Amino acid sequence: MRVFYSDTFNLPLPDRHRFPNTKYAMLRETLIREAVVSEDMLELSPLVERADVLRAHDAAYVDAFERGALDEKAIRRIGFPWSEQLVTRTQATAGGAVAAARAALDEGIAGQLAGGTHHAHRDFGSGYCIYNDFAIAALNLVETGAAARVAIIDLDVHQGDGNAAILAGHERTFVFSMHGEKNFPFRKHDSDLDVPLEDGMEDAAFLATLEEHLPAVFAFAPDIVLYQTGVDGLAEDKLGRLALTHGGLKQRDRMVLSACQARGIPVSMGIGGGYADPIEASVEAYANTYRVAAELYGF
């Protein structure tokens, strides 16, 4: 398995910024320390090609972001102060998603220790998301002929509104989002399949809901699944509003990954949201996704 990372491109955030920027390096260190993945499986995420970005995003938006010319309102909507490091990190996250997707096609499974930036829209960023890595990767695959059909399974607690908006009406992609009904974003966009969840939902109800709706993804007959493995449904998460446990999230991952594996469908993973306090709880949940993958795929 190839695992891409970009935590070396650290974001300069002000003191008391609410985004837990340390979680990416913590995850990589945890996976290496526990030998869940080995050093030779890790690759630095490449910077995304401009042509790939422009399949999903408006050129004027891309140029304004990369020049540092977005207005104050647009920057506030993103949630990060602009910096050259932010541009590099954004390019690496998108490039890592493309690289991981292509590696998954070759090897059956791959992942990135970042990504899942599903709130980025064609001409604006939102919710800590600037370029939409899964939309970029999906369009790269279908428009270059690497895959005929791409499905996104998005189990972050926040709806992938950017995925839904960018890929709306695209016959060769399928977006499945299972998310908190009353959580951010407060204006939802229609995915191919949306499953809203009530606040406070616990493991049993969540897993039963996933089991009910997951077959629709496979009815689409995708050549690859891009799996957004956000762990912000964890009960400890500050932004989640669900009541899932570590065990429940591991069962979620096992359900998705084993279903793909049984059908011979490659999977590329991006870690999505996680905002627990303390952040170690999110890092543990992220690591569990890779522990489940290692158990199933034997890497």
Q: What's the pLDDT at 14?
A: 86
Q: What's the pLDDT at 9?
A: 82
Q: Do 192 and 175 touch, CB atoms closer than 8 A?
A: yes
Query: For 58-61, which contacts have Cβ atoms below 8 Å and span 24 or more sequence positions?
Result: 58/122, 58/123, 60/123, 61/122, 61/123, 61/124
Is position 241 within any domain? yes
Is position 281 within any domain? yes
Ranges of residues in the chain with a pLDDT under 50 are none
Question: Three-state SS for 51?
Answer: helix
Residue 267, domain CATH: 3.40.800.20
Q: What's the pLDDT at 10?
A: 78
Domain count, the chain: 1
Is position 13 within any domain? no
Is position 16 within any domain? no
Is position 63 within any domain? yes
**Structural domain containing residue 162:** 2-6+27-297
Cis upstream peptide for 266 (omega within 30°): no
Is position 12 within any domain? no
Q: What's the pLDDT at 141?
A: 98
Q: What's the pLDDT at 177?
A: 98
Is position 99 within any domain? yes
DSSP 33: H
> What digits encode the pLDDT tens for the residues 270-286?
999 999 999 999 999 99
Which residues does residue 180 pair with via DSSP β-bridges, in sequence order? 197
